Amino acid sequence: MKLLLAIVQDKDSNLLSSELIDANIRATKLSTTGGFLKSGNTTFIVGIEDERVPEALKIIEKTCQAREQFMIPPVNMDATMDSSMSYPIEVQVGGATVFVMPIEQFHRF
């Protein structure tokens, strides 16, 4: 057995949840926040058999694509007025961060 922790952008979470259900992969969803943009994320916790890990990873990769987004960087209050003018920059968002960990025991009651 393996434990998957998949951190995805909120925009991808509903579609990923549906895809996992269609594949008969049970998952628990947690709302999380963090990252460079301090944006909303969803963390999926999945207990899965070793042989199904590649299937789950493929679903996550297919569903959670990285994309470009514009953001305005935070203003530095110590800087002079000219250098504190913030202009939008393009950053990559989305995708998924997935941790695959061994499970010593797994019980479902």
Full residue range of the structural domain in which residue 14 is found: 2-102
Does a structural domain hold residue 107?
no
The residue type at 12: D
Q: Of the ranges 15-19, 67-71, 88-92, which is most confident?
A: 15-19
Average pLDDT, the chain: 85
Please report whether residue 74 resides in a domain.
yes
Are 51 and 57 within 8 A, CB to CB? no
* pLDDT at residue 37 tops 60: no
pTM over cut 0.85: no
CATH number at residue 76: 3.30.70.120
Name the domain count of the chain.
1
Helix, strand, coil percentages (3-state) for the chain, rounded to 5, are 25, 40, 35
CA distance 23 to 59: 9
Coil, helix or strand for 17?
helix
User: What is the rounded distance in angstroms from the CA atom of residue 64 to the CA atom of residue 98?
Assistant: 11
Q: Which two tokens stand for residue 7?
A: 């951190």
Flag whether 57 is in a domain: yes
- Whether the predicted pLDDT of 73 surpasses 80: no
